[in-house]
Structure 1
Amino acid sequence: MLNVLRRGQGAARLELAEAGWSPDSDIVWLDLLKPTREEELAVEAALGVQLPTVEEMEALEPSSRLYQENGATFMTATLLARSHQDTPFATPVTFVLAKGLLVTLRYEELRAFTVFADRAPQGAIDSGTEALLGLFDAIVERLAQILDDMGHKVEEVSTLVFNRPRAGNFRPLLTGLAQAQSVTSLTRNSLVSLARTLGFAILAHEIGGDPNCRAHLEALQRDAQSLTEHAGQQSSHITFLLDAALGLINIEQNGIIKFFSVVAVAFMPPTLVASIYGMNFDVMPELHWASGYPFALILMLVAGVVPVVWFKRRGWL
């Protein structure tokens, strides 16, 4: 799928119906979303650049993700996708500045791209550079929103962890914390990758030669850095809550084991007395004693109460 953004207009779907296609002069952004091979070849031929393959986009080497070639600047960042679903994951996105156009190559729907395309007509997007910086703005805002949402979720779980009803279920709390930790970690990785991309983007002559663009890019770098620190702090807080929840689970389990241990110890002496008097030996004076039965009951009661009183005095209960 090939979407385009024109000056003063919103994003629209573009059909490549003719051989030798070239972008119109009013196009500032070409967005390749899950493109076919034909669409890739058409864009490459029109701009005179070689788009990276999926393998190159996923590579960790800077030379494969950040480079300049044939007057074009190639930048690949790893961004968070499906953040509010059960299985969020990271996906590579390539940004290319070539011949005054911004070309993006991606294989997943990303909310930041949709938001930027919807609000682009409200601003003055006159070049690929402005489109790139506006898209970076939308990505940073989206990552900040994800961190904010996860922060609210973590605070709710934190309240439930320490104000949970006795013998309540910990499973939903641990599941929520695990998901928040996963999303926060992926968001932090996206911010780190984006920071590297922003640092390399200034080498593009379209940005490096424009003081306003440089200032905008430096502001984005500061935002990404502050969000990265925030994500790290939030991740530490989630780890603390996980440890606290596991500690409370251990305390409750120890309390349960303690209760059964005390019950077992309390019933052991009465069981011993009952076992002795249940042997029915011939030479056993208490068997023919009129007060033998009450005596045995009192003896069992005393034998059961004494350990409980002893435990309480020792502070074990």
Structure 2
Amino acid sequence: MIRLYRSGCTACEPVVAAPADWVMPPDTLWIDLIDPTLDEDRAVERALGLSIPTREEMSELEASSRLYREGGATYLTADILHNGDSEMPTIDPVTFVLTPGPLVTIRYFDPRPFTLFVDKLEREPALCASGVDMFLNLMEAIIDRASDVLGKTSHKVEAVGNHIFSEGKRVGFEHLVTKLGRAHIANARIEQSLSGLARVFAFVGVDDRMEHGEPREHLRSLARDATSLLGHNQAVAQGINFQLSAALGFINIEQSSIFKVFSIFSAVLMPPTLIGAIYGMNFDLMPELRWAAGYPMALVAMAVSAALPLLWFRRKGWI
């Protein structure tokens, strides 16, 4: 799908014409390609005289394939977070093309920053007067969303830490380790996204379109925000590693305590077991031998002796 944002409009307009017949309006500020077909790619290429990268090209990891200049345009591909409200947000590449005219974005998913940015444009139609303005304000929405996701991850890690180091019984560590593992995955994806954005800001910083003045200062502010968030993200990563080590340490301590209890019981019951094994059946006068209820009572005693330890282990939180 092709969406256009034109000067003086208050919303993005989907292109309803067939790609072969489409002509770009001269006042277009932003061309948003969402899961585009081959015909839609070619229509935009004809309109701008530029090549549009394919999905496979967008997924390449080499910096030279993600950040480059070609045909008077600057191509920037970065991994953008989405599904940020879930425990493990995902990332996918988005390509931004800075042209002498409109901004072009190519994406195959719908990240929340794009929706937030479009809503902001509807409230403030005069916010963007050029493709460069579109790019900078869209990047600001992406950075703000990354900050929100990082804040949620940080709060989750802090909550796990409070549970780990709280006084009283320490149970459910397996669940806590799972939470920390998911937080670690989320943390790694946030760092990957922010690192890519930082490279984008450094690369576009030497672009001729970022002339001195407000665009240059806006870009520098975005770069500082990305660097600050990377530092915060690394601090969260250190907290995750520390809490994971602490949780595993407490698990080992707890298991050692359990084995110590078992060892004590084994040592206490060893002498009676030894005496019973040697002398238990060596007496003539054993009334229970002719006791009619002896066998059923023995079965009941075995069941009770097996159930009581299980109940005690459950009460202790060992099972």
Q: What is the TM-score when the length of structure 1 is the normalising length? A: 0.83
8 Å Cα contact 1:28-1:127 kept in structure 2: yes
Counterpart CA distance in 2 for 1:132 and 1:274 is 85
**Alpha-carbon deviation of 1:86?**
5.5
Find the counterpart in structure 2 of residue 6 from structure 1: 6
SS of match in other structure, 1:90: strand
2:217 equivalent in structure 1: 215
**What are the superposed Cα offsets for residues 151-200 of structure 1, whole Å, 9 maximum, x if unpaired?**
11111111122227636322332222111111111001100001001111
Q: Which residue of 1 aligns with 2:143?
A: 140
Q: CA deviation at 1:18?
A: 5.9
Cα distance in 1 for partners of 2:88, 2:186 equals 9
> Mean alpha-carbon deviation: is it higher for 17-26 or for 234-243?
17-26
- Partner SS for 1:24: coil
1:236-258 per-residue CA deviation (whole Å, 9 max, x = no partner) reads: 10111111111111111111111
**1:266 and 2:268 correspond:** yes
* Partner SS for 1:188: helix
| 1:154 matches 2:157 | yes
Q: State the alpha-carbon separation in 1 of the partners of residues 235 and 63 from structure 2.
A: 27
Residue in structure 1 matched with residue 256 of structure 2 by the alignment: 254
Relative to structure 1, is the Cα distance of residues 147 and 275 closer, same or farther in structure 2, using a 3 angstrom cutoff? same
Tell whether 2:43 aligns with 1:54: no
Distance 2:241 2:129 in 1: 45
2:69, 2:282 → 1: CA distance?
99
Contact 2:78 2:196 in 1 (8 A): yes
C-alpha distance 33-247 of structure 1, shift in aligned 2 (>3 A) = same
Kept in 2: contact 1:11–1:118 (CA 8 A):
no
RMSD: 1.9
The share of aligned pairs that are identical, in percent, is 42
Shift, 1:139, TM fit: 0.6
**3-state DSSP of counterpart to 2:53:** coil
Deviation at 1:99, TM superposition (A): 2.8
Number of residue pairs matched?
Answer: 281
| Alignment partner, residue 174 of structure 1 | 177
For 1:158, the aligned partner's letter is G
Cα contact 2:58–2:93 (8 A) shared by 1:
yes
The structural deviation recorded for 1:222 is: 0.8
Matched ranges for 1:263-302 at <5 A: 263-278=265-280, 280=282
Taking a change above 3 Å as real, the CA distance of residues 30 and 233 of structure 1, as seen in their structure-2 partners, is same
Give the Cα separation in 1 of the matches to 2:127 and 2:282.
103
Structure whose CA Rg is larger: 1
The unaligned stretches of length 5 or more in structure 2 are 285-319
Distance 1:47 1:20, change over 3 A: farther
8 A Cα contact 1:5 1:117, kept in partner? no
Q: What 5-or-longer segments of structure 1 have no aligned partner?
A: 283-317
Aligned match of 2:204: 201
Displacement after TM superposition at 1:10 (Å): 2.1
